[in-house]
């Protein structure tokens, strides 16, 4: 198995932190997004979506999308489950993880990709070009603020996203919060619950991945 990765990008970091939590080691190949390597014919032959991360199995099968890759690895390495230990936990983790994607990552990507000059015409990742819409960048910043507030309220009475169970949803949110710094959004001073959670999960060795 090989993981196509980019050390500086947030989406593959979610997979790296997940693997570190579970003690999984996989051969990792870097795709240099800054030079546009994702659009090279060689990489497009492996991943027509021109995105990272991508997991390639020994028989050549490829799995794209962070959530699908983490799910597959969870099935292969069931010890220390991060997707839930019971049917209810699995449902709650999936719900929280979907929200992290929609309200966190999509908001951050909207804010970044619709504003920075280096992403002109690249407002969405993937094989198709889309022009930037400045109003979407503005809305993305508002959505980040709102998600920070929602998370702060959640952590008032919960240790992690799902009660006292650390899961893949916490990994997604941690990586989102670090990604939000790219658009100069940090946990506001008065969001004490979110800051408490961030400080706690930030001490896990896996976050360095
Ligand atoms: N929905 C995809 C999103 C992956 C994604 O956005 N990857 C970014 C890096 S964080 C990428 O490959 N960007 C390439 C580009 O901007 O051209 C997933 O969850 O895996």
Question: Is 52 close to ligand 1, i.e. is its CB under 6 Å away?
Answer: yes
User: How high is the pLDDT of residue 61?
Assistant: 98
Atom of ligand 1 at shortest range from CA of 9: 10
Class at the top of the CATH hierarchy for domain 2-76: alpha beta
Residue nearest to atom 18 of ligand 1 (CA): 65
Q: What distance in Å separates the CA atoms of residue 24 and residue 119, rounded to the nearest whole number?
A: 33
Which tens digits make up the pLDDT trace of 153-168? 999 999 999 999 999 9
**Structure confidence at residue 123 as a pLDDT band (50, 70, 90):** very high
For the chain, the structural domain boundaries read 2-76, 87-208
Q: How confident is the model at residue 139 (pLDDT cuts 50, 70, 90)?
A: very high
10 lines ligand 1 (CB under 6 A): yes
pLDDT at 184: 98
pLDDT at position 17 is 98
Note the pLDDT of residue 78: 97
Report residue 71's pLDDT band, with 50, 70 and 90 as the boundaries.
very high
Burial 184-196 (b: 16+ CB within 10 A, else e): ebebeeebebbbe
Residue nearest to atom 17 of ligand 1 (CA): 125
Mention every residue, 6+ apart, whose C-beta is less than 8 A from residue 62: 46, 47, 54, 55, 56
pLDDT at site 150:
98
Mean pLDDT across 29-43: 97
Over residues 181-190, the mean pLDDT reads 98
Note the pLDDT of residue 180.
98
Ligand 1 neighbourhood includes 66 CB (under 6 angstroms): yes
Whether the Cβ atoms of residue 176 and residue 10 lie closer than 8 Å to each other: yes
Indicate whether residue 84 lines ligand 1 (CB < 6 A).
Answer: no
Structure confidence at residue 124 (pLDDT): 96
Ligand 1 centroid to residue 52 C-alpha, Å: 5
Mean pLDDT of the chain: 98
Query: What's the Cα-to-Cα distance from 12 to each of 70, 108, 198, rounded to whole Å?
Result: 11, 15, 20
Token code pair at residue 57: 């199995």
How far, in Å, from the CA of 77 to the mean position of ligand 1? 25
C-alpha 163/C-alpha 170 separation (Å) is 11
By most ligand atoms within 8 Å of CB, the mutation choice from 15, 44, 52 for ligand 1 is: 52
CATH of 87-208, one of 3.30.365.10, 1.20.1050.10, 3.40.50.880, 1.10.3720.10: 1.20.1050.10
The per-residue pLDDT for 163 is 95
Q: Is the CB of 100 under 6 A from ligand 1?
A: no
| Torsional sign, CA 163, 168, 169, 173 | positive
Q: Which atom of ligand 1 is nearest to the CA of 126?
A: 17
**Is the Cβ–Cβ distance between 79 and 22 less than 8 Å?**
yes
* 64 Cα nearest atom in ligand 1: 20
The pLDDT score that the predictor gives to residue 82 is: 98
pLDDT at 130 (0 to 100): 97
pLDDT at residue 89, rounded to an integer: 98
pTM of the full predicted structure?
0.97
Q: Report the atom number in ligand 1 closest to the C-alpha of 33.
A: 14
Mean pLDDT along residues 2-7: 98
Q: Which atom of ligand 1 is nearest to the CA of 51?
A: 12
Residues above pLDDT 70, as percent of the chain: 100
């Amino acid at each position: 198995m090989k993981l196509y990765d980019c050390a500086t990008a947030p989406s593959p970091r979610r997979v790296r932190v997940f693997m570190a939590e579970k003690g999984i080691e996989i051969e990792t190949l870097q795709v240099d997004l800054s030079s546009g390597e994702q659009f090279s014919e060689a990489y497009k032959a492996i991943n027509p979506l021109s995105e990272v991360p991508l997991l390639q199995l020994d028989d050549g099968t490829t799995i794209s999308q962070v959530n699908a890759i983490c799910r597959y690895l969870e099935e292969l390495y069931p010890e220390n489950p991060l997707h839930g230990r019971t049917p209810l936990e699995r449902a709650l983790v999936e719900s929280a993880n979907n929200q992290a994607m929609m309200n966190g990552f999509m908001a951050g990507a909207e804010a970044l990709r619709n504003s920075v000059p280096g992403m002109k015409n690249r407002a969405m990742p993937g094989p198709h070009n889309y022009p930037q819409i400045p109003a979407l960048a503005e809305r993305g910043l508002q959505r980040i603020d709102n998600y920070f507030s929602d998370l702060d309220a959640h952590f008032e009475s919960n240790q992690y996203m799902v009660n006292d169970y650390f899961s893949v949803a916490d990994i997604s949110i941690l990586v989102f919060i670090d990604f939000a710094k790219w658009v100069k959004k940090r946990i506001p001073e008065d969001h004490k619950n979110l800051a408490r959670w961030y400080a706690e999960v930030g001490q896990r060795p896996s976050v360095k991945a």
